[in-house]
Amino acid sequence: MVALSGAHTIGQAQCQNFRDRLYNETNINSGFATSLKANCPQPTGSGDRNLANLDVSTPYSFDNAYYSNLKSQKGLLHSDQVLFTGTGGGTDNIVNNFASNPAAFSSAFASAMVKMGNLSPLTGSQGQVRISCSKVN
C-alpha cells in the first residue's frame, strides 16, 4: 500500500478533501499549510473545488519526491501523511527507503500495480459500481 500511495506523486485534490487536515491536524508543516490556506478557506463550502497538487515538489513528474514530502510533513491528504509519523511508525522505514532510493520505489510500485491488476473485480450481481467511492449505493 505504501508503494501504491506513491501514485500521489502526480495529480491534484480538491480543497474539500484536505481542508480538515489544513486546519485541524498538527502533523503538517506550518509553511506548507499556510501556502494552501489562501486557496482553501476554512468555511465549508468556500473553495471546495479548488485544487492543490498532491506533490508540492515535483507535481508533474512520476518520481519518489512524494516520500520526501511526507518526511517533511508535506503530505496533502491525511491518508498520505499517516504513512510517515517520524516516530518509528509501522511504515516509516518504507517511506525512508523510498525517499532515498528511487529504484526501490519504482520496483515496488511496478510490482504492486501488477498485483493489483491481477485482482478479479466482482461483476454482475456480485458487485456494484459505486456512485460515490466512499459509501455503498
3-state secondary structure of 4: helix
Question: Residue 63, annotated ligand binder?
Answer: yes
Chain segment 1-27, per-residue pLDDT in tens: 999 999 999 999 999 999 999 999 999
Task: Identify the band that residue 134 occupies on the pLDDT scale cut at 50, 70 and 90.
Answer: confident
Amino acid at 118: N
Chain segment 41-69, per-residue pLDDT in tens: 998 888 999 999 999 999 999 999 999 99
Kindly list the distances between the CA atom of residue 47 and the CA atoms of 41, 42, 125, 136, in Å, as whole numbers in the listed order.
6, 9, 38, 27
> Would you say residue 75 has pLDDT above 90?
yes
pLDDT at site 126: 82
How far does Cα 19 stand from its chain's mean position? 14
Residue boundaries of the structural domains of the chain: 1-118
- List the CATH code of the domain at 1-118: 1.10.420.10
What is the average pLDDT across 127-132?
A: 80
Kindly list the distances between the CA atom of residue 71 and the CA atoms of 17, 77, 96, 100, 127, in Å, as whole numbers in the listed order.
21, 14, 8, 11, 38
Decide: 80 and 29 in contact? Cβ < 8 Å: no
Question: Residue 8, annotated ligand binder?
Answer: yes
* Helix, strand and coil percent figures for the chain, each rounded to 5: 45, 5, 50
E strand spans, the chain: 12-14, 51-53
